[in-house]
Structure 1
């Protein structure tokens, strides 16, 4: 009766309002999962992305309900792309310039080599190769989500993305503990240790944590090296979009579609480097990006069951682990034998 009176008084609700209402339960669920993951991360020093993913999987049966599914899908796709777009404020040309030609060249070579190795190890599945190679080479979970957003959508891709996020996050946490101790034991200097940590550990937070176990100066230089890797993400995404477009069966006279989120990514990077965005605005955008990615990975977790993730196979575990060790070895060789890095 109340609903009938409401329609009589105000007319039918607009399509936009109806659509927003249909999204609310799923988005709210993903946000609550993200809040729980952030709380546990801050109190137990665990990776927030990994916690959001694992907690989300617990809610998989609920996420398949008709009332929740639209919001979960919205959180795992449009909100994911919005979070990736806001990563543009983290791109710093001054960081690249301060590292010098030799340092930038070494980092770019390590990044490109890791992605190529990922493609080689993946054999026929090039999408899986670029996803795992890019995640290891650039910035872990964030890079995996960004690369996934540029690839043709499929259920297999979602599962591959989730598996990659779990693997690189776990390996990055392990690297944060093991790498600094091992490098010091092998006699690496602080500058060499900083370069290896920044060039080989997947996640920014883990790079900072690993560097601080040696010294504050090591953490600062390692973070600089890491941010140069992050700054190369837009270049990788552009190459990926061109590759996907060329692989598709499109008429050559048609224009190559450029995702809107990538345009926003570049626009924010330009504005941030031109100092149009002040520090407060850049920090707000970076914080919003983190939140959107946490919500997106929570939704992705809720869409995937533990059984489907476990069926990914040991070969993919070996591949990601092999890429991680190969990047570590190559970074250590660069630190030892390339002149002009420091």
Structure 2
């Protein structure tokens, strides 16, 4: 979905925003606190139903108001979200109300790139698992429903483990069987997608870190050689002691390994940032190969990437057919990159929540 029109109301300090004629690349510049990142936050809210800065709606909905609205339009689609202080939301696609955020996410695949962050590598399995599942959601039709069934079953099993420490193995047998069945399907789907993703990852890794050999190693979260049901049975007593389920796809991980050891321990901060870029760009490339284009939010581009890395990133995103929303304090270098690469763009100045189009 190439967004041609974007409307934002009552998000943080932004005045009523009405942007038309958006381009493949859209650059928002201004001082710190001007509202640049709030524009990206609003697009993220529309695509995912949540902010990347806070879990609480009251933190992004303007003070003394009850809701925030984000609306986007392309040549073929109109999508909108109204988010309330309570956390409830109203979602519309082409004027019709829809029940789940997933329907918007399918229309508007979105990647948030943060050049200053190394969280995916340094902060444990969860962000890597979320990264994998984003790709799963967009390329594997069976994944979302299977994951929902698995998550519900896991929640029920954990509830039983917490409420009764004297449960016998036979008491949990039906839950073990269901969790195992859904878990094995998830494992199979993830394994297939990892296999397809790997060549894309290696190609983008060579572009950004050609001197390094880094491999992705998928860990399913259980002993796949004997099966999940075997783990649920064998570790029954330990699960009762813990009060939660230790083994399963909810504990899966992607380990990133160099020839010298784990990437989180071996790579420099700069190398980690480029590795994360390679991971996310390769996901965008995989979607592009399936004729699915991704909207990319690129926050503070010039903060930590040198000029060469900036240009390589912009060029690659353009090759992949992405629509990109960029924020920066220093727009001259971004303009020069876009001009040198002959990429269509629109420049916006953001001051105290007001957005002004800068003519080319």
Same fold (TM over 0.5): no
TM-score (norm 2): 0.27
Greater RCO, 1 or 2 (C-alpha within 8 Å, sep 6+):
1
Name the larger-Rg structure.
2
Larger relative strand fraction:
2
